[in-house]
Structure 1
Amino acid sequence: MTAKTTKADPTYAIDLSAERREVQFPHGIAVKVRKDWSLFFPAEIPADALDPLLSEDLDLMGLLGEVVNSSGEVGTSEVIDLLFRHASLPRKFIAAVKDIYRELLGEDEFEDFKAHRPSIGEYVRLTKALVAVYGVDLGKLFGLGGSSGSGGATSSPTSPDTTSSTPEASGSDQESPDSSDSAG
């Protein structure tokens, strides 16, 4: 039996506005980059903001396919080999990141951003922080990593609640030497 609602008092099965960051950050996400420099990013990441990373020109999906299809583990030498095969990749990736910032900040604010000449470290730290606030995980976006449970009503746990290999006690109660004991 379904509940009947009226236009005056609707009951929503889905309320997308309940979790929107505009509620938490109504004026945008304030970011202090340096003592004399701060920025405001939109509370919600626009859907098309990630388009530069997904462009055919950058071809991250093709590169991801190469990594997945490579034999063995991907280490430094494999990454360097991949970069030599795609020599324009670093420049295209940096351009894509800048395009994302341009989309998030708007043209005027992005020009001010560029005028401050952010360092690579600032780009990395800012991007990591924004990813955490926005909750964007490209691995999950592409369906990589994480658990592969169905999440449906008929799903069941993939492992028992307890295992015999996991000790019930933890920390200092366990019988293992301290790291200082092995030094001397």
Structure 2
Amino acid sequence: MSTDQYVIDLTAPRREVQYPHGIIVKFSDKLDLLFPAELPADALDPILSEELDLVGLLGDLVRAQDRSAVGEIIELLFRRPRLPKLFLDAVKATYAILLDEQQYADFLAARPSIPDYVRLTSGLVRAYGVDLGKLFASAASSESDGPTSKQTSPDFTSSTPEESGSAPDSADSSESVD
């Protein structure tokens, strides 16, 4: 047995401790779903696919700084008319990865609504501790092509006392300043 101390120990108990049998979701009175305790990496493949190109879409939104977000989203949807269908297909494919075959069939048979997908996905994101914003973060989004900002104040001001506790030089309140 090694006496080394590990910085990262992937054999240590993970989310399975909190959800030993998986994440149980009550979808309806007749349907409970069991999701894996840990989010498999391949579950994000449909959402991150090149065909869907969500990263490219978000990059276009970041570059459109001078326009309203809603206006830009509408324009991007017109430029990518297949995007809503591709996105819904990607979400469904993600659930097909997360659920076993029978559960997925039962889930689809329950005819989930768009709000069902949103609520379920939001709940799973919280349970899995996944921040999709960080997944889609672009290194370029933090760069700036603009000029360097200007200094907002001088290095020192005449009102700053030289010594701690001394008062700044100022005219008496009874004196008038022209």
TM-score, normalization by structure 2: 0.72
Question: Which residue of the partner structure matches residue 61 of structure 1?
Answer: 55
Question: Which residue of the partner structure matches residue 31 of structure 2?
Answer: 37
Shift of 1:109: 1.5
For the 8 Å contact 2:58–2:136, the answer to whether it is kept is no
**2:120 pairs with 1:126:** yes
Question: Which residue of the partner structure matches residue 177 of structure 1?
Answer: none
Instruction: Give the share of equivalent positions with the same residue, in percent.
Output: 57
Question: Which residue of the partner structure matches residue 107 of structure 1?
Answer: 101
For the 8 Å contact 1:83–1:89, the answer to whether it is kept is yes
For the 8 Å contact 1:67–1:74, the answer to whether it is kept is no
Residues 141 and 19 of structure 1: CA distance in aligned 2, closer, same or farther (over 3 Å): farther
SS in 2 for 1:16: coil
Question: Which residue of the partner structure matches residue 46 of structure 1?
Answer: 40
SS in 1 for 2:6: coil
SS in 1 for 2:119: helix
Counterparts of 1:1-184 in structure 2 under 5 Å? 6-7=1-2, 11-18=5-12, 20-143=14-137
Relative contact order higher in (CA < 8 Å, ≥ 6 apart): 2
One-letter code aligned to 1:126 = L
One-letter code aligned to 1:138 = L
SS in 2 for 1:143: coil
Largest Rg, 1 or 2: 2
For the 8 Å contact 1:33–1:39, the answer to whether it is kept is yes
Shift of 1:75: 2.5
Residues 36 and 42 of structure 1: CA distance in aligned 2, closer, same or farther (over 3 Å): same
Shift of 1:66: 0.8
Shift of 1:10: 5.8
| Root mean square deviation of aligned Cα | 2.0
Which runs of 5 or more residues in structure 1 are unaligned? 1-5, 149-184
Shift of 1:65: 1.4
SS in 1 for 2:87: helix
Cα deviation per residue 1:152-174 (whole Å; 9 max; x = unaligned)? xxxxxxxxxxxxxxxxxxxxxxx
Equivalent-residue separation in structure 2 for 1:134 and 1:97 (angstroms): 16
Shift of 1:77: 2.0
SS in 1 for 2:32: strand
TM-score, normalization by structure 1: 0.69
Which runs of 5 or more residues in structure 2 are unaligned? 143-178
Q: Greater shift after overlay, 16-25 or 119-128?
A: 16-25
